[in-house]
A and B are shown apart, each in its own frame.
Chain A
Amino acid sequence: AQSVTQLDSQVPVFEEAPVELRCNYSSSVSVYLFWYVQYPNQGLQLLLKYLSGSTLVKGINGFEAEFNKSQTSFHLRKPSVHISDTAEYFCAVWETGANNLFFGTGTRLTVIP
């Protein structure tokens, strides 16, 4: 069965510092990879996605992620965070042939002024 591991449940970081949120998945078949963001009291918003092509994908709000097939990872990065980036971030995997997204348990990013 597919599993998605987000290694850090909470990540505090100072404003304007870089951040990396880690995500690993287990799958023996082709996958599509996603990061979603959930701001307080809101639904999930798509941050970025990897479907094919370049392994470095850029998303909204200055975030990017790199797909590493050999490491089965899809870590999310931002070179300089803002207070407004404080939110919960979810990594998700769609296996080819599946009918739903599998989500990780989420990483709460807190940006400290």
Chain B
Amino acid sequence: DSGVTQTPKHLITATGQRVTLRCSPRSGDLSVYWYQQSLDQGLQFLIQYYNGEERAKGNILERFSAQQFPDLHSELNLSSLELGDSALYFCASSVDSGANVLTFGAGSRLTVL
């Protein structure tokens, strides 16, 4: 157990739907990162939050959004889902914004049918 908790572990939904993935960082970590892992794109950085504020953006689609709450948990919202959004979504956390050692959760596997 890495200490980073992601829910749900598996999610199956239909095209056009909206889902929310949740992440609780490791105790004491203030930064949360979201990554998407797909077969054709590999591991892609989506977005980073530090203590509630967005710090960095990667290859995140406009249909996707995220936020970090005062209790430091984070949610990734995926809307107008397409077949190509099927992937493993990882959350990682670190102590601070510039910290470079990330601890990853087990991931949420999203299947869009």
In the assembled complex, the Cα of A44 lies from the Cα of B33 at a distance in Å of: 13
In the assembled complex, the Cα of A44 lies from the Cα of B104 at a distance in Å of: 6
User: Which of B11-19, B63-71, B76-84, B94-102 binds A?
Assistant: B94-102
In the assembled complex, the Cα of A37 lies from the Cα of B45 at a distance in Å of: 17
Minimum distance in angstroms from A101 CB to a CB of chain B: 6
For residue A46, CB closer than 8 A to chain B, the reply is: yes
For residue A45, CB closer than 8 A to chain B, the reply is: yes
What are the 4 A-B residue pairs with the smallest beta carbon separation, nearest first? A99-B56, A103-B43, A94-B100, A44-B104
Binding site for A on B (CB under 8 A): 2, 4, 33, 35, 42-43, 45, 48, 55-56, 58, 90, 92, 97-98, 100-107
Binding site for B on A (CB under 8 A): 32, 34, 36, 42-46, 49, 51, 90, 94, 98-106
